[in-house]
Structure 1
């Protein structure tokens, strides 16, 4: 268990799950302000005079957009366009970039990128010395502003300095992700927990599901095209930049409309959480797709993100022995250029 997680007083019930003795945690997030330690996320830093040029050839993001204000989504692909990881990219300082992603993919992505690093003046660092916290609720921005003396940003943007970064994420409630040195965690946790209720990181993951935002895990590596998790609809692909690994396949899938699977949001009619990879089947017992992630909502029902065939299904659908109901995504499934996010006031 990471030292900074232990400092919160939470219990590690699985490798990337931390819980507290907080009843009805998802319901608390509907009305109050809650604070989950984001044990399922990790950070990889890329530093050096060639950092921008190095990343520009590897990632779907336009590096010039990551300017210390916009913190765009991005992904890293194989030559066949399959994702090795998806992440959020922020600039910590000149020639210093940080990638936030699922913790299970940090080491494998670092090893992949190190194959290209000898050709550039860059260094890669897996940041085990950082703590990642979430704040969810109407008071999240005010608490962060008072404690860190930083005006919180709008969604998919960043604020702060080299030691503290605040990132705003979309969702059904206002959300902030806070990145700070692990040795400062205990003091910040004690102050913030007087105003925000500590809850499991499952609550943050639930809000990701409700935002239609999927973070790939190690078992899902090298499986999906970016469009299969709606990454271009979230601004995670720049179609205006030059070449990067996998770019030709990703662009062809977009311009020729060859994406036959898409991310969907759904709800099950029971409280059984399906495992990632669980099959979604139609009325004819035909497999249409699989679950990426699942969490219980405020009413004790499982909400999921899944990758499914775009063909019209034969209803009813089921998953893990439960009926499955498709829900509306909170964004249109169409191309959103990250350049437009940088332009919006």
Structure 2
């Protein structure tokens, strides 16, 4: 995280922990309009005349469809088709910006650098140059992943029942924008945990160190989110992803769940079917975030003909998970 940005947030009474999650002890001007420091996410830049070609051979979406007006979710996979990381792919002029969790930035950077060879491509950690801000507004939502570039700021609309945008800009511009939105526009300052909560109920499948290389993209619903192209040609892991698609259905699928629990379960925690005599694991927790009234989580479950009526956590015998529809 850029030092100036962190210093500014601390001056706004934010607390930033060792995992780069920012929280605010006092939320002034509470209302529907909220602004978030997305300190848990980072930006990896890919530039050079061969940048599009390199990314096309490594990630699941069709890079040739990405423009300054259209972004996309995607996955970077290993040769077995398991997602190393999920990313939001954004384009500005000739530069591709890969938005992804901070904890997986170095992993993805090293993986892409392995395939650069003699290509004209430069891969760089953009965390010191770019700042990520989330904006939640009461307006009608825009089409997901529509992108706008105005005044040196990139705005990407995200899936949500209300208007929600991820903003990418320089540090100085972010500070000016934040100050204006809070001071003159009455936006409420909110923490990155609340933004993760909104990502979860919208079905955005961010991976963590614990869940990296555990699931193929279809298990993360990336096909439903437009993050997989099945006619773009070869990329690492494509054979497994395509075979799953053409054979019909993945053996596991992502669902939204909620639970009354004192602390959110860790990624990759085991989910059990309490109606089963043997209490075997039927799924894993992908990501969980505590809300004001309950914990919401994305879970990967085995697909079965019958419904799960009594799900729980293996490590918490009292917890009961209820499956919910995703926020559109």
Asked whether the two chains share a fold, i.e. TM above 0.5, the reply is: yes
Task: Name the SS of the counterpart of 2:17 in structure 1.
Answer: strand
Superposition TM-score, scaled by structure 1 size: 0.85
Task: Name the SS of the counterpart of 2:224 in structure 1.
Answer: helix
Deviation at 1:209, TM superposition (A): 1.0
Q: Number of residue pairs matched? A: 314
Aligned twin of 2:78: 78
2:242 paired with 1:244: no
Aligned twin of 1:212: 203
2:79 paired with 1:90: no
Q: Distance in 1 between matches of 2:246 and 2:151?
A: 39
Deviation at 1:290, TM superposition (A): 1.3
Aligned twin of 2:323: 326
What do you get for the CA RMSD once the two structures are aligned?
2.1
Cα–Cα, structure 1 residues 292 and 14, in superposed 2: closer, same or farther, change >3 Å? Answer: farther
Which of 271, 295, 298 pairs up with 2:289?
A: 295
Task: Name the SS of the counterpart of 1:36 in structure 2.
Answer: strand
Deviation at 1:23, TM superposition (A): 5.6
Q: Which runs of 4+ in 1 moved over 4 A?
A: none
Q: State whether residues 134 and 204 of structure 1, in contact with CA within 8 Å, keep that contact through their aligned partners in structure 2.
A: yes
Name whichever structure is richer in helix by fraction.
1
Deviation at 1:140, TM superposition (A): 9.8
Aligned twin of 1:15: 19
2:167 paired with 1:178: yes
Deviation at 1:59, TM superposition (A): 1.3
Q: Distance in 2 between matches of 1:304 and 1:90?
A: 26
Q: Write out aligned runs for 1:120-269 (5 A).
A: 120-128=119-127, 129-138=129-138, 154-160=143-149, 163-194=152-183, 195-269=186-260
Q: Distance in 2 between matches of 1:56 and 1:78?
A: 14
Superposition TM-score, scaled by structure 2 size: 0.89
Q: Which runs of 5+ in 1 are unaligned?
A: 142-152, 332-345
CA distances 1:239-264 after superposition (whole Å, capped 9, x unpaired): 12111111111000111125111111
Name whichever structure is richer in strand by fraction.
2
Cα–Cα, structure 1 residues 139 and 330, in superposed 2: closer, same or farther, change >3 Å? Answer: closer
Aligned twin of 1:308: 301
